[in-house]
Structure 1
Amino acid sequence: MSGVVGFVGLGHMGGPMAASLVKAGYRVIGYDLVPGLLASAVDAGVEAAASAAEAASGADVVITMLPAGRHVLALYREEGLLASAAPGTLFVDCSTIDVADARAAHEAALAAGHRALDAPVSGGVVGAEAGTLTFMAGGEATDFARAEPLLSAMGRKAVHCGAAGSGQAAKICNNMILGISMIAVSEAFVLGESLGLSHQALFDVASTASGQCWALTVNCPVPGPVPGSPAGRGYAPGFAAPLMAKDLGLAANAARAGGVDAELGLRAARMYTEFADAEGADRDFSGIVRAIRERSGSSSGSPDASASASAASLSEASPAQNGTPA
């Protein structure tokens, strides 16, 4: 295919993704409702379009990265995106949306004479900026093969998961694992604090033992062990808590609809909704450790210092008192 890509949605994820395509040699024509986001994309080499329809006109592939399914469907059905594209254009939606909405968008594209993939991503803003995203794609194998060079330019792995909607299905399952594991890691650190264990000691053990997971080794919820994690930046979001709440809500809805006994997934969805609606509104999803700490009765701003004091106290206790086998 030629190198003309229409890109609609140039926010925290879409902007860096479009910039990666420019770096790979593609001509990218982009649009975003927010002028500042469009201006930033132009600075990265994206050509500005006056509308979403204009971005799609003349493009070989149109990529969308939008907040919710209703935005995708409105753009496809009501705002002229499909109608403005040349017949046979491949539409790749990288938004994270409901499986049913993804399938509806796919059908709308096919009915308009186009091809379509749902291809949500994992990796957050850091992955988008570094070009290390993972794409989970649903649709025809031939369309996936056509899109794969573009996906490879924006990420390091692309998986064809099956028919339309399968990419979204894989994404919500993956993020249910991530949400549950982040809560588990956060609870473990808070438990460790209460037992006098330093963050570094717990990290050094768990990161090389059976507790190892991405939530621990890459996005560690406490400052120190992983210098690049959001915890070291005041929980400035890489993957914001409201987005995790949204994804877990999609997973919870799918679990209920399918009659799946997803007790931990449903509980994680409730916890992240509560966190996102309160202090986590503008924080990384790993910041849920603070909510867990507060509910546990600890308000220490320096958990390791608190842990050291607890360790000293424990060292003075008898084996029977501190639970150590005699």
Structure 2
Amino acid sequence: MAALARASRYVFRWNKRVDPTFALSTRSMASKTPVGFVGLGNMGSPMATNLLKNGYPVIATDVFPETCKEIEDLGAHVVDSPADVADKSDRIITMLPSSPDVIEVFTGPSGILKKVKKGTLLIDSSTIDPAVSKEMSVAAEKMGAVFMDAPVSGGVGAASLAKLTFMVGGPEEEFNAAQELLSCMGANVVYCGQVGTGQAVKLCNNMLLAIGMIGTAETMNLGIRLGLDPKLLAKILNMSSGRCWSSDTYNPVPGVMEGVPSANNYQGGFVTTLMAKDLGLAQNTATNTKTAIPLGSLAHQIYRVMGSRGYANKDFSSVFQF
């Protein structure tokens, strides 16, 4: 649970309940006002750093105080709780590991909604159940704030380079205000629809990612056992119809690529526990919508078993070793 909690992150937003055109222009005028950030883990820390690099004052907190030191040294103002973040900012970004963490950060005793200002823009970049995003939106609306879900794709490397893809769900008239901040942390910011649709896209993406990684690992293992050089095999796959992100950008075989977790004993990256969590969310939504996902279900089982056999905190590409 501690490992999961370290992944959490938070977001702020400034939004007056007035005519949308006026609200957008006002936010633009105040674009360099403080931005709150909750969750300074593997993803949140580089995301918050990129806000600082773009000139935004950052008010930050994390459940683990030791994770705050690096961002504090870069100029962020660290506070004790999400409620304190809400008290000092009106645009807040959250980056958390799970649905329960998001619920606690927003609605708990020291949560954002305890001190949130009317008109605050709340952007949650966690990957959670779309139903929880909708619940948080309703709770925020009761306090006069606006909630948007904006999960990310790209991993720690893309977070560090500000090349994430954000999938945004929420009121369309608020998208420009969210995009102003998200563009500092990502190369692609895509509006998906109302609250929860960003999460829906993210779950679909991660289910495909897991299936693709398992397929890549199986394929590479078969080729190696047939006597093929793994680098040569990867090269040919990547100029052929079998090419995919897991083969050409994040290859799971040690020695094939530099700068990926497989080159570092599967340390860093996107841990198996979080992939299993996301696949569980995909499984739940598939059940609720009566959608058959046989490969997604099998991928979920594989990553759950990996988590119980010593791979929980290794990158999900360690499925090659498993």
Say whether the fold is shared (TM-score over 0.5). Answer: yes
Question: How big is the shift at 1:229?
Answer: 1.5
Gapped regions of structure 2 (runs ≥ 5): 1-26
1:177 maps to 2:208? yes
- Give 1:80 shift: 3.7
> Structure 1 length as normaliser, TM-score?
0.87
Query: Match for 1:151 among 182, 188, 197?
Result: 182
Q: For residues 81 and 233 of structure 1, what CA distance do their matches in structure 2 show? A: 37
- Work out the CA distance in 2 between the residues paired with 1:207 and 1:146: 39
| Other-structure match for 1:99 | 130
In 2: Cα distance, 1:196 partner to 1:254 partner: 42
Q: C-alpha distance in 1, partners of 2:206/2:69?
A: 31
Structure 1 match to 2:40: 10
Q: Secondary structure at the match of 2:268?
A: coil
| SS state at 1:153 partner | coil
How far does residue 226 in structure 1 lie from its aligned partner after superposition? 1.6
Q: Distance in 2 between matches of 1:235 and 1:11?
A: 18
Question: What is the rounded CA distance, in whole Å, between the counterparts of 2:274 and 2:242 in structure 1?
Answer: 25
Given the alignment of the two structures, is residue 247 of structure 1 paired with residue 278 of structure 2, yes or no? yes
CA RMSD of aligned residues (A): 1.1
Higher relative contact order (CA 8 A, sep 6+): 2
Is 2:60 aligned against 1:19?
A: no
- 1:229 corresponds in structure 2 to 260
Of 35-44 and 259-268, the range deviating more from structure 2:
35-44
The letter of the residue matching 2:176 is: A
The correspondence of residues 292-311 of structure 1 with structure 2, limited to 5 A, is none
Contact 2:81 2:111 in 1 (8 A): no
Runs of 4+ in 1 over 4 A off after TM superposition: none
SS of the residue corresponding to residue 126 of structure 2 reads coil
Other-structure match for 2:11:
none
Q: Distance in 1 between matches of 2:212 and 2:70?
A: 34
Residue 42 (structure 1) aligned to one of 47, 51, 72: 72
Residue in 2 that maps onto 1:314? none
Q: Distance in 1 between matches of 2:231 and 2:223?
A: 11
Aligned partners of 2:39, 2:259: CA distance in 1, in Å?
27
Which residue number corresponds to residue 104 of structure 2?
74
Question: What is aligned with 2:224?
Answer: 193
- Asked whether the 8 Å contact 2:251–2:260 carries over to 1, the reply is yes
Distance, in Å, in 1 between the alignment partners of 2:78 and 2:106 is: 20
Q: CA deviation at 1:72?
A: 1.4
The one of 133, 141, 148 equivalent to 1:110 is 141
Q: Hey, what's the Cα distance between the residues in 2 that align with 1:133 and 1:219?
A: 15
Cα distance in 2 for partners of 1:46, 1:198 equals 48
Q: What percentage of residue pairs aligned between the two structures are identical?
A: 42
Q: How many residues are treated as equivalent by the alignment?
A: 291
Q: Whole-Å Cα distance in 2 between the matches of residues 49 and 21 of structure 1?
A: 17
Deviation at 1:224, TM superposition (A): 2.4
Q: Cα deviations across residues 24-50 of structure 1 (Å, max 9, x unaligned)? A: 010100011211111122122211112
